[in-house]
Amino acid sequence: MAGTGIISAFVVGLVIGALARPLLPRQRRMPLWVTVGIGIAAALAGTAIGAALEVGTFLTLVVQALLAILAVYLLAGSRARGPA
């Protein structure tokens, strides 16, 4: 992973994690730092996937964003429901 890939993953994850708060009403119980952390971790995973598949920068950004959105949505939803 190049340094620019890690930086872009951090920025994408930060933005998506922060935007998830007003967009996903179920996850308001989660602290902002948790949603941002989930977004960053998922975007870093997207960077690794993009590098492994050897896709271009644009597709890597798309993979980062999709993974971050999905992770925040799923984890926020599971946390909002509580334990089974």
- Asked whether 45 and 65 are in contact (CB, 8 A), the reply is no
What is the DSSP code (8-state) at residue 71? H
Pairwise CA distance, residues 21 & 31, whole Å: 9
Residue holding tokens 């925040």?
72
What is the DSSP code (8-state) at residue 26? G
Domain presence at residue 9: yes
Angle at 70 between CA 69 and CA 75, to 5 degrees: 105
28 Cβ contact partners less than 8 Å away, ≥ 6 residues apart: 21
Domain presence at residue 41: yes
Domain presence at residue 81: no
When divided into structural domains, the chain yields a total of 1
What is the DSSP code (8-state) at residue 54? T
Q: What is the pLDDT of residue 1?
A: 56
Helix (H, G, I), strand (E, B) or coil at 55: coil
Domain extent for 62:
3-23+30-76
pTM for this prediction:
0.74
Please write the tens of the pLDDT for every residue from 23-81: 766 656 778 788 788 888 888 888 888 889 888 888 888 888 888 878 878 876 665 55
